[in-house]
Amino acid sequence: MQIQIKRALLSVSDKTAIVQIAEVLLQYGCEIISTGGTGALLESSGIKFTRIEEITGNPECFGGRVKTISFNVAGGLLFDRDKDSAEAEKLGIQPIDMVVCNLYPFNTFREAGAELETLIENIDIGGVTLIRAAAKNFKHVSVVTDPALYPQIIDELEQSRGKISYETRFCLMREAFNHTADYDSGIALAMDEKHGIDSVRLHFTEGTPLRYGENPHQKAWVYKKSENNAVLRGYRSLQGKELSYNNLVDISSAIECLKNQSRPSCVIVKHNNPCGFASASSIKEALNLAWESDPISAFGSIIAVNRSVDLATAEFFNFENPDRTKRKFVEVIIAPSFDNEAIQILSSSKNLRLIEHFFGKSTRGLEYRIIDGIMLSQERDEELSKGLDLKTNEPLDDVSEDLIAFGIAAARQIKSNAIAVVRKTETGALQLLGMGAGQPNRLESTHLALSRCRSNLYREASEKNLCCEDHFRFEMRKALLVSDAFFPFPDSIEECAISGIKNIIQPGGSLRDSEVIQMCNKLKLAMAFSGIRHFKH
C-alpha cells in the first residue's frame, strides 16, 4: 500500500542533499517541518517550511538539547491511522508522514578521542526518538536515516507522484533500527571505555546462506561486518560457482599471506595452510615455483597472486588441453585483475571461481573468534621479528634479509606447530621448499617439512638429469628453516643436520634453549632467534 507524503519532518546533522529531497517533497504538495539548523539551510535555499516551534508549541531550548520532543510530534508519528484517527483529531494531533533524520556525529568525536563532556553533548536524544517512533509506525510513516538513500527515495516520489510504497517503508524501518542500534552501541562502548572497561559490540549484516558448511550436512551462512574493514572487503566474483564456507576461510588465509609482499608473489592454500608460496620477478615464475612447492597438495586448492593475471599466466593451468588429466584443477583464483584473454581461457573451467581483490598493506586491528558462548579477541599478528640475535658459533651462511622475511611470513601463516623451509633460487626468486603443519609436536612437523623438501628436490634433479642426493644436499645447505615457535628439545636439530640444513631461525624462549644451541654448535649449524612467536591455531 502506498501512502501520500503530506507532512514531513526534516532534522539532520549531516545536511548532504537535504535541499534536493525537500524540493521534491514540495513539488508534490508536502508540508515541510524543520528544526533550527536544518531550517536555516532550507531558508537560504528559498524553501518554505514550518518551524518546529509551531508544531510543539514550545521554543527550542537549553542550547538545542530540546527541539522535537513533544506530545504533538510524538503523537503525529505514532498514532495508528486505521484505529486512532478519531482520537488524534479530538486531541488536535496532525499526522507526520515522513521523518528525514540523521544523528549528531557521536562516533566521529569518539574516534577523535574527545573528552567526556564533548561526548555527552554529542549524544542525540530527540533524533533517536524521532527515528524510533517513525520506524515503529512504518505502516503509516516513512523514515530516512542515510543520505545515500535519498536518490532512491527521490526517484520513488517522482515515479509515484509523492507516494512511498509499503515495501520501501519496511526497508527504511529496518535501516532505521540498525542505525539507532549502531549509534547506541557506540555510546555504550565509549562510556565503558571512559570507565576503564573493555567491551565489544559487533554488527554483522547481509546474512546469506552458503551451499553448506565445512561438511555437506552442516548449514552455513556468511555475514558482512558493518564497519567493512575486514580482510575480505571489496572482493568481486567474476565467474564460477558460489563460494563455500571452506573457500572463504582459505581465501582469507591466502590474502593474509600475500599482504605486504612487494614483489610478484603467489600463494597456494589447501585446508587453510599455504602448501605453495613463492616471490619472483614475474607472476608466471612465482606461480610455477609455488606449484612446485607441493604439486600433489595443489590439486583442488585456492590460488592467489598479487599481480594481474595475463594470458601467459592463465595458460599455466592448461585448461584447453583436450587431455583432461593434463589440466590443473583448482577451486579459486584470486588476483587484483584479470586480462580479457586470461578470462577467456579460464572461463573454459565453468566451476572455477575468479575473484578480483586488491592486495594492500596490512592494517592493524582486532580479530575475533567465538567459541561456545564466549568470544576471544586479539590484535592481528603483523610484526615478523624483533631483529635477529645469532646464538651459535656458526654464522647464518649467505642468508639474505629478503629470504628471512619471506620464511617468517610463510611460517606465520602455517598452522602450528609450523616448520617452513625456504630457499632463494638461481634467478633470485624466493620459494617455499617444504612445510610441516598442524602437528601435535614440532619433531613431526620437522619430519614432514624435510620430507617434502626431499621429494621436491629429487623431482627437480630428475628433470635436470642431476644426481638426486647431491642436488638435495647442495640446495639444503643454502636453504633456511624457520620455526614458528621454540624447539623444546634438540631432536629436531638433529633431524635438520641429517638432511643437510645449515641455517635455522626460531623465536627462542624455551627452558632448554641452551641445550638446543649446544646441539647446533656440536653439529655446526647456525641458529638465530627472532624474538617473536607466530602460533596459528
**Tens-place pLDDT, residues 251-284:** 989 998 998 899 999 999 999 999 999 999 999 9
Nearest alpha-carbon partner for 237 in 315, 310, 331, 311? 331
Q: What is the CATH number of domain 385-529?
A: 3.40.140.20
Confirm or reject CATH 3.40.140.20 for domain 205-356, answering yes or no.
yes
Q: Is 13 exposed, middle or buried (0-12, 13-18, 19+ CB in 10 A)?
A: middle
In the chain, residues under CATH classification 3.40.140.20 are: 205-356, 385-529
Give the three cell numbers for residue 537: 591455531
Q: What is d(CA 125, CA 72) in angstroms, rounded to the nearest whole number?
A: 17
| Distance of alpha carbon 356 from alpha carbon 235, whole angstroms | 6
pLDDT given at position 319: 86
Per-residue pLDDT of the chain (537 residues; tens, 9 = 90+): 899 999 999 999 999 999 999 999 999 999 999 998 899 999 999 999 999 999 998 888 888 888 888 999 999 999 999 999 999 999 999 999 999 999 999 989 998 999 999 999 999 999 999 999 999 999 999 999 999 999 999 999 999 999 999 999 999 999 999 999 999 999 999 999 999 998 888 888 778 898 889 999 999 998 877 654 444 556 788 888 888 899 999 998 999 899 889 999 999 999 999 999 999 999 999 999 999 999 999 999 999 999 999 999 999 998 888 888 888 899 999 999 999 999 999 988 888 999 998 876 656 678 888 888 898 888 888 888 999 999 999 999 889 999 999 999 999 999 999 999 999 999 999 999 999 999 999 999 999 999 999 999 999 999 999 999 999 999 999 999 999 999 999 999 999 999 999 999 999 999 999 999 999 999 999 999 999 999 998
- DSSP for 254-318, written as a single string: HHHHHTT--S-EEEEEETTEEEEEEE-SSHHHHHHHHHHH-TTTTTTEEEEESS-B-HHHHHTT-
Count other Cβ atoms within 10 Å, centred on residue 416: 20
* pLDDT at res. 322: 87
Kind and range of the H or E element at 491?
A: helix 491-499
Q: Which residues make up the CATH 3.40.50.1380 domain(s) of the chain?
A: 3-194
Alpha carbons 18 and 45: distance in angstroms, whole number: 11
CA distance 315 to 342: 8
What is the grid cell recorded at 269? 592454500
Pairwise CA distance, residues 383 & 389, whole Å? 16
Residue 379: predicted pLDDT: 87
How far apart are alpha carbons 8 and 28 in whole angstroms? 12
Distances (CA, A) of 445 to 36, 414, 415, 483: 69, 11, 10, 10
- Residue 314 bridge partners (DSSP): none
Tell me what pLDDT residue 139 has.
Answer: 96
The sign of the dihedral angle between the CA atoms of 60, 61, 64, 69 is: negative
Separation of alpha carbons 306 and 395, rounded Å: 34
Which CATH class for the 3-194 domain? alpha beta
Which of 132, 183, 158, 128 has its CA nearest to residue 21? 158
Strand, coil or helix: 506: strand
Angle 449-452-453 (CA atoms, 0-180°, nearest 5)?
85
Integer angstrom CA distances of residue 154 from 43, 63, 208, 375: 20, 33, 29, 43
Contact 270, 250 (CB under 8 A): yes
